[in-house]
Amino acid sequence: MGTNRITSRRKFFKASAALIGGTLAVSFMKPLGLMAQTDSDDNTKEKDKLPLWGMGVDIEKCIGCGKCAEACKIENNVPKEPFYFRTWIEQYTVKNDGEVKIESPNGGIGGLSQSVPNEDIFKSFMVPKLCNHCTNAPCVQACPVGATYISPEGVVLVDDTYCIGCSYCIQACPYGARFMNPVTKVADKCTFCYHRISEGLQPACVEVCPTDARVFGDLHDKKSDLVKFLQENPTEILKPHLNTKSRVFYNGLSSEVR
Amino acid sequence: MEEHFQHLYQALSQVDGYIYPNEIDLHWGLMIVLYPYITGLVAGAFILASLERVFHVKVLKPTYGLALLTALAFLLVATMPLVSHLQHPFRSYEIFMTPNSTSAMAIFGFVYLWYLMAVLLLEIWFDYRRDFVIWSKTSKGFKKIFYKVITLGINDIDEKSAKLDDRLGYFITVIGIPSAFLLHGYVGFIFGSIKANPWWSTVLMPIIFLFSAMVSGVALVMLIYMVVNWVRKVDIDMKCLDTIARYLLFILIIDFTLESLDQIHRIYEAEESFDIIRVLVSGKLNITLAVMQVGLGTIFPLSVLGLFQFYKPSEKIRKVFYFLIGGMVLVGIFFMRWNVVIGGQLFSKSLSGFTSFKTVYSGMEGSVMAAVWLILPLLILSFLLWLMPPWKKVAYHE
């Protein structure tokens, strides 16, 4: 009797283990791409034909008018409160004594003005910021459900219907480019105006810039304005030591900028 | 929402230096402080139980069952703060359905499930199975039904089956130790792997989390053991209590050494982020780090427990100090989690300024809710102790 019971108990645990193991295996197979061979050669070729979007920012041209940040908020329905920005402009002022003052009241919307007296200024410049659309995006790596992903054109996007709102991606972004949208309650960020660029238009911030400080284009297209910008200027990306391999390139980036 | 905006406008007026505009809204609050705190208590309590079971520290026998049930009670609540913090809590099941294999947080869900299902529940079941059978015959009402169901129809209580239970239980505990290490080491990795944040990004983070978890879990079981015996009006086994206190001392020494090493390493390397971290530690975290975590939670307990190894005062005095120290250590570790989670968000990733954090009382992220998540495991534990009191066990492993 006892032996039979023990045997039945063994069977019970074996069956339970098989059930749990099976469920886990299926859960892991999907993200690892083991369930279906979707990445065929055809897809790879298709991907090569697609553009690879990027942006150049010419710090020497930016005048801090804030039109880009304003246009972005209107175009993308970003809450108008000064805590939510898909793009913003930072004003750097290096004083004669070496102290660096950084300001970005309301993300630069309405225009930035200088608060340091002229005689104390060593140099001053504006730095537009946005999502850097990293090749090695830490936010994409961190997202527990895969709601944030890199589109085939290299744009880092968020699936609003899938994001669970854990904020892990916001913690993982080194550039402060993400925020929790108080209306949709999902992570929000610059999409390079994906809805516009898919129609052959420019992102809203690029469109409104009066000095052409932002250059948007296809990194695959050797004749694009962006590729020309990269050829003609010594550009740098933000926080290169983090190996994010971002696709937003700055010309005239000073060492004070983080 | 208006209230949230008001809160943010207030925070905006208190910004010191420059922070990225999206950083004014501090995303991880009290709930994420509680999450590693509670998980740590689970891992620590389990490891204390394993000392008795696997390493045969027989003097700890009176706390074995208590430690296991404590681990279970807290584990059942461990994910609650996480889920209640989510903006879309009803989508949380997606972590299991479509986990992103590169995400530390996604894999934690599976580590948690493994620990709950494959380790803790099984170990407790094997430990109690014979008692469930015996109790199902002697009890009445709800208890009788519960015991009957929980035996899963396996009613043999002969020597042979008891031996099998014991062997399987032992085997699961052996697997359980690395699992407990994995559970809490992993929580540390969730923070330690964020390269964007220099306060979190250290390879020592998982191991610091692990040892601080052991410290808090051992302190919690020590306190619960004292309280339970006091409620039951049963004498405390001083040999057992002294041994727990000695283990607490050893683990505290390791924990303090690791955390000091982390800080010394930061100070000596003095990387780019060092300037702002120095201001953070000496300013914003002054009270919570220097006073609560280090002074109250570490130095004082270390000194008293160290002294007791050389000079043993009367039992009565020892009990008072053990009780005090247990509480202090628990407060200290809570503030250790606070300093990691909140501290890591107080300074900007631009390394040029600070934001502020203010606890709110109400809402899903408020201190009332936090109190609920801390009291609930104690209520669950009381229920479990009523349902399956370790001191009434007939069967006991070797």
Q: State pLDDT tens for residues B215-249.
A: 999 999 999 999 999 999 999 999 999 999 999 99
Contacts of B346 (CB under 8 A, 6+ apart): B26, B280, B284, B285, B354, B355, B356, B357
pLDDT of residue B158: 86
Asked if B3 has any chain A CB less than 8 Å from its own CB, the reply is no
Mean of all residue pLDDT scores within chain A: 89
Residue A157 resides in a domain: yes
Quickly state the pLDDT bin for B184 (edges 50, 70, 90). Answer: confident
pLDDT of residue B319: 97
A8 has pLDDT over 90:
no
CATH number at residue A164: 3.30.70.20
| Signed CA dihedral, A112, A118, A121, A124: sign only | positive
Query: Which residues in chain B have their CB less than 8 angstroms from residue A240's CB?
Result: none
DSSP state of A202: P
Cα B390 to Cα B396: distance, rounded to the nearest angstrom? 10
Complex ipTM, two decimals?
Answer: 0.93
Residue A159 resides in a domain: yes
This prediction has a pTM of 0.91
Cα A19 to Cα A38: distance, rounded to the nearest angstrom? 27
Query: Which residues in chain B have their CB less than 8 angstroms from residue A176's CB?
Result: 19-23, 348-350
pLDDT in tens, A156-199: 999 999 999 999 999 999 999 999 999 999 999 999 999 999 99
pLDDT of residue A1: 41
Cα B294 to Cα B206: distance, rounded to the nearest angstrom? 19
Quickly state the pLDDT bin for B180 (edges 50, 70, 90). Answer: confident
Q: Which two tokens stand for residue A2?
A: 């006892």
pLDDT of residue B220: 98
B 59-98: CB under 8 A from A: 82, 85-89, 91-92, 94-98
Query: Which residues in chain A have their CB less than 8 angstroms from residue B92's CB?
Result: 164
A41 has pLDDT over 70:
no
Asked if A256 has any chain B CB less than 8 Å from its own CB, the reply is no
Q: Which sequence spans correspond to the domains of chain B?
A: 2-101+195-387
* Helix, strand, coil share (%) of chain A residues, nearest 5: 35, 20, 50
Residue A131 resides in a domain: yes
A108: left (phi over 0), alpha (psi -120 to 50) or beta: left
Q: Which two tokens stand for residue B289?
A: 């780090």
pLDDT in tens, B104-134: 999 888 888 888 888 999 999 999 999 999 9
Where is mean pLDDT largest: A29-33, A48-52, A211-215?
A211-215
Quickly state the pLDDT bin for A36 (edges 50, 70, 90). Answer: very low
Q: Which domain holds residue A121?
A: 54-258
Quickly state the pLDDT bin for B373 (edges 50, 70, 90). Answer: very high
pLDDT in tens, B304-327: 999 999 999 999 999 999 999 999
Which of B2, B12, B19, B22 best probes binding to A when mutated, by most A CB atoms within 10 angstroms?
Answer: B22
Residue A9 resides in a domain: no
pLDDT in tens, A119-156: 999 999 999 999 999 999 999 999 999 999 999 999 99
How many Å separate Cα B128 from the centre of its chain?
24
pLDDT of residue B363: 85
Nearest to B331 by CA among B249, B245, B220, B188: B220
Pick A143's closest partner by Cβ from B21, B89, B103.
B103
Cα B95 to Cα B108: distance, rounded to the nearest angstrom? 9
Mean of all residue pLDDT scores within chain B: 94
Quickly state the pLDDT bin for A38 (edges 50, 70, 90). Answer: very low
Q: Give A178→chain B minimum CA distance, Å.
A: 7
Residue A171 and residue B91: Cβ atoms within 8 Å?
no
Q: Give B326→chain A minimum CA distance, Å.
A: 33
pLDDT of residue B1: 81
A66 has pLDDT over 50:
yes
Whole-number percent of chain B with pLDDT over 90: 83
| Domain total of chain A | 1
Of residues A4 and B158, more confidence is placed in B158
DSSP state of A66: -
Which of B5, B27, B32, B119 best probes binding to A when mutated, by most A CB atoms within 10 angstroms?
Answer: B27
Q: What kind of fold does domain B2-101+195-387 have according to CATH?
A: Formate dehydrogenase/DMSO reductase fold (1.20.1630)
Mean pLDDT calculated for residue range B69-94: 94
Residue A197 resides in a domain: yes
Pick B156's closest partner by Cβ from A2, A172, A178.
A2
